[in-house]
Chain A
């Protein structure tokens, strides 16, 4: 009796197995085309729709191919599809592919300058609404047609997606761009007022992340250059590590380069009925000397280090103040100061029109820097200290200024 019942259960389960849920949705891996990067442009006139999407799809076989084989296959397929909406274009693209385009593993969304200026909602809505889309893909704004970035073969990496991912990982040590963020986080910040996205440019034939694209009211409204982006990262607390080149105290033509590590940031708000709100930024940092070739001083002495630290702090204050004033000039509060006012003074917040008030608010920047290390050398003793500094030695800041 028991074995009969067991047999019956087994038969029923076996009969049901073809109905298992996965069967309807099963797609072999060789029938999938995993899209790694999506670029969004406007079409240039030919019929087909408003948006031109470009997809970067890796060719696994080619990526695995041993270097030096006779016939190198292209490591990626780049395919374009137009559509009146992003959703339509990305569905229609399947008619051009022998495999099913899947977007779950997508790591980057590139939006061209003109699409961003018209409004980012078209991209954000599809990206966050369609369950098959990856809402954790990072968003970038390009200074030229976004599709061109996918057609290029970048440095070190066969795929633009991987290259961008590597560039984004450089942010903590090269904060000359807006902090890369997922499209969902980007949308959340934009909804709260304004936000920044890293900007992609082409420099000497290579893709670079330079500066920031400023978004407000759902649109791209301006651009920050590398230095302003760095100053803004100080203000936002996003900066972790950067370098500062300051003039040598004894030798004005010399430079001392410091590797500066962010150690703290606080923002205080003071309100006075007679004047506009005043924001006081207190920035703390520690630093190590990494280069002082043309500066004949002895940083082991506390007084010398303090003088250098004060000079560097002054440089930081100037840089940060310039970034603050740029935000005011653009009349866009991507610094989230309105949020600070909102939750510290909710009653006042309801009475004021922040967009109008923001350009008039005052900022006080106070940077405090401590030099903790001088590296493996103390005083620079090599000959040539009294010579004119050469351009290659004067640090990135000057190079940018130039």
Chain B
């Protein structure tokens, strides 16, 4: 970590948005609607509550170990063997996440914008840019991603207005027709579509302080949440549940219908997609950096330069693995619904709980000693 590589707590909002907002905006509506039907919007709202809970848990945890990396936090709480396993799991998790988003992004590029360009060309370009970004550290990344946030919010808000025409809100009714079961399943799926908060685990040592860190993280979650719920409502109101589950990327199908009066034949979907893929890139770069940062801690390195290149190599190799898009999405979902709740909620909750228990037992021991 560089001496001056520090970010204010306010920057956590930017990092949270950059970490969470990725291709899930294109993919998630189908999976959540498939699970929750018309109540997909309700599941999304409830999933956001869980996300806010996660943010609370992780910020509380890193605040207790302000200058410690995730490797140090895990080993201090769980001991060296278990702590190392936890830290290694996170390194693999972030590497896998970066690889998944990279492959999905490459596929979307190939399918929608560059059908004749070999997949590996697009992948390698993204890996190179991600490496370049990660090499500069957390503070430059935060500054860069702040610009990209406009790229995340602007297309969504531009899309919401024109998409209202033809949307029928009765397609969202009746609510909870099949009871609470599908809604709960939808919450699980929606939560599993929004990984990224675990990135906060590596950011503790980079913060100039923790005052308002939690509120910043929550603002980040809400900045993702509002368009996520809006997209879910509009996609279902426009297409109905039967159609949404038939589309690989329902949000993209929605954008393809947008027309601006006076611009006959002008399609906005290539612009939307280009900007949106830029946003997805931030998740890749952050996960890339996080995996490298943990690897550096695990190997006791002072500098993350070598791990960043090593992770870049691993990403490049992973991206060369030929996976069909349906397999990527289907198997990806099966893995995500287990891995993401574990990495984003259960492990941080476990670390925090054990930490609190140990602290309590330590204080009661010292009280007895006194």
Binding site for B on A (CB under 8 A): 19, 21-25, 104-105, 107, 128, 131-132, 134-136, 165, 181-182, 184-185, 187-188, 191-192, 339-340, 343-344, 346
Query: Do residues B173 and A343 form an inter-chain contact, with CB atoms below 8 A?
Result: yes
Which of A23, A107, A184, A188 has a CB less than 8 Å from the CB of B265? A107
Stretch from B93-101, B116-124, B356-364 that touches the partner = B116-124
Contacts of B157 in A (CB 8 A): none
- Does A22 lie within 8 Å of B114, measured CB to CB? yes
Q: Does B174 contact A (CB under 8 A)?
A: yes
B: number of interface residues (CB 8 Å): 29
- Using Cβ atoms and an 8 Å threshold, which residues of chain B touch A339? 170
B118 touches A24 (CB 8 A): yes
Contacts A25-B114, A165-B264 given; 17 further ones with Cβ under 8 A?
A21-B114, A24-B114, A24-B118, A25-B113, A25-B116, A135-B257, A136-B256, A136-B259, A181-B166, A184-B253, A184-B256, A184-B257, A187-B243, A188-B239, A188-B242, A192-B240, A343-B174
Determine the chain A residues whose CB is within 8 A of the CB of B259 once the complex forms: 136
**What CA separation (Å) do A105 and B257 show in the bound complex?**
12
Which chain A residue has the least Cβ–Cβ distance from B257? A136
Given contacts A21-B125, A340-B170, contact A191 B118 (CB under 8 A): no
B242 in contact with A191 (CB, 8 Å) = yes
Contact in complex: B243, A188 (CB < 8 Å) = yes
Are A131 and B117 neighbours in the complex by a CB distance under 8 Å? no
Report whether B257 and A131 are in contact in the complex, using a CB–CB cutoff of 8 Å.
Answer: no
Q: Give the distance to chain B from A60, nearest Cβ to Cβ, in Å.
A: 13
Closest chain B CB from A210 CB (angstroms): 23
Closest to B128 in A: A16
8 closest residue pairs by CB, A with B: A343-B173, A24-B117, A24-B116, A105-B265, A21-B117, A25-B114, A188-B243, A346-B174
Asked if B112 is at the interface (CB within 8 A of a chain A CB), the reply is: yes
Kindly state the separation between the CA atoms of A104 and B173 in the bound complex, as whole angstroms. Answer: 34
Q: Convert B68-102 into 0s and 1s, putting 1 for each residue whose CB lies closer than 8 angstroms to a CB of A.
A: 00000000000000000000000000000000000
Compute how far the CA of A340 lies from the CA of B171 in the bound complex, rounded to whole angstroms. 10
Instruction: Name which residue of chain A comes closest to B116, CB basis.
Output: A24
What residues of B have a CB within 8 angstroms of the CB of A135 in the complex? 253, 256-257
Q: Are B121 and A21 in contact (CB under 8 A)?
A: yes
Q: For the complex, give the distance between the alpha carbons of A327 and B177 in Å.
A: 29
Report whether B117 and A25 are in contact in the complex, using a CB–CB cutoff of 8 Å.
yes
Chain B residues, Cβ within 8 Å of A22? 114, 117
Q: How many Å lie between the Cα of A23 and that of B267 in the bound state? A: 22
- B116 cross-chain contacts in A, Cβ below 8 A: 24-25
| Residues of chain B contacted by A182 (CB below 8 angstroms) | 257
B257, A19: Cβ atoms under 8 Å?
no
Is B109's beta carbon under 8 Å from chain A? yes
> Is there an interface contact between A104 and B114, defined as CB atoms closer than 8 Å?
no
How many angstroms between the C-alpha atoms of A188 and B247 in the bound complex?
Answer: 12
With A21-B125, A24-B118, A24-B121 as known contacts, state yes or no: A131 contacts B112, CB within 8 Å. Answer: yes
Look across to chain B and name the residue whose beta carbon is closest to the beta carbon of A192: B240
Docked complex Cα distance between A350 and B122 (Å): 49
A–B complex contacts, Cβ < 8 Å, 11 sampled? A19-B121, A23-B117, A24-B117, A107-B265, A134-B267, A136-B259, A181-B166, A188-B238, A191-B243, A344-B174, A346-B177
**Chain A residue with Cβ nearest B117:** A24
Question: Whole-angstrom distance between the alpha carbons of A188 and B257 in the complex?
Answer: 13
Minimal Cβ-Cβ distance residue in B for A191 = B242
- Min CB distance A305 to B, Å, is 34
Contacts of B125 in A (CB 8 A): 19, 21
| Residue with the highest number of chain A CB atoms closer than 10 Å, among B111, B242, B256 | B256
Indicate if B115 sits at the interface (CB-CB under 8 A). yes
